[in-house]
């Protein structure tokens, strides 16, 4: 299987991490984020000109969460995407929640406070940061309460944990504090200690100076 991948993309990060966790080897086809829109090879497999894209023989799939669910079907014994309906529904709930609520809020703050400066994209939009930080804090409280004493958001390690973790990669340089969120803090440290995450995250650490 081939993965059209950009090392700095959080969406690609979560796919790489799940693949490593499952022990699935992917042939990486590097795509620069800045040039993705004009990359004809990428457009040929995804008309949106976005990464990641998975190519499995004659089957082409884009959107990171769909890709991860497909990868899980290759290793059902690992149970990263449960088969039992209620357990699976809970995992999918948190996948959608990350995509629609927590992810956009935290990623906007990270982009404005850290990524812009890192790539000389101009000053942060302070009004936008203030608004999205309020959203992020609200959603983080939801996450804290949901975790409680659970090690993982749906009790067992799942694709939802990897999706959620991709939201936290720039929390420190973006000054998003978890000091008042002990369950979230313990959860992200637990996830980041996994070999699969360390391997997937290494290119971002190196290139972003984390």
- Model confidence over 82-119: pLDDT tens digits? 999 999 999 999 999 999 999 999 999 999 999 999 99
Full-model pTM: 0.95
Distance between CA atoms of residues 30 and 127, nearest Å:
35
Distance between CA atoms of residues 112 and 10, nearest Å:
16
Distance between CA atoms of residues 59 and 51, nearest Å:
16
- Model confidence over 34-88: pLDDT tens digits? 666 678 889 999 999 999 999 999 999 999 999 999 999 999 999 999 999 999 9
- Model confidence over 6-17: pLDDT tens digits? 999 999 999 999
Question: Tokens 């309906």 map to which residue?
Answer: 85
Kindly state the tokens that stand for 18. 């799940």
Task: Give residue 33's pLDDT band: very low, low, confident or very high (50, 70, 90).
Answer: confident
Do the Cβ atoms of 105 and 174 come closer than 8 Å? no
Give the pLDDT mean for 160-181: 97
Looking at residue 210, its pLDDT comes to: 85
Who contacts 22 (Cβ-Cβ below 8 Å, separation ≥6)? 71, 72, 74, 75, 78, 80
Domains in the chain (CATH in brackets) are 2-78 (3.40.30.10), 85-194 (1.20.1050.10)
Looking at residue 32, its pLDDT comes to: 82
């Amino acid at each position: 299987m081939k993965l059209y991948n950009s090392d700095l993309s959080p969406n690609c990060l979560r796919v790489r991490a799940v693949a490593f966790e499952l022990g699935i080897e992917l042939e990486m086809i590097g795509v620069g984020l800045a040039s993705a829109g004009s990359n004809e090879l990428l457009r040929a497999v995804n008309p949106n000109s976005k990464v990641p894209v998975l190519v499995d023989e004659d089957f082409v799939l884009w959107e990171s969460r769909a890709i991860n669910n497909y990868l899980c079907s290759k290793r059902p014994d690992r149970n990263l995407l449960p088969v039992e309906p209620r357990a699976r529904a809970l995992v999918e709930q948190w996948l959608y929640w990350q995509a629609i609520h927590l992810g956009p809020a935290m990623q906007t703050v990270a982009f404005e406070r850290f990524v812009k400066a890192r790539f000389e994209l101009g000053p942060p939009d302070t009004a936008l940061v203030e608004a999205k930080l309020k959203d992020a804090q609200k959603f983080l409280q939801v996450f804290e309460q949901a975790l409680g004493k659970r090690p993982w958001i749906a009790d067992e390690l799942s694709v939802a944990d990897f999706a959620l973790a991709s939201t936290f990669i720039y929390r420190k340089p973006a000054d998003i504090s978890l000091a008042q969120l002990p369950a979230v803090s313990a959860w992200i440290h637990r996830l980041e200690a996994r070999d699969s995450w360390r391997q997937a995250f290494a290119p971002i650490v190196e290139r972003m100076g984390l």
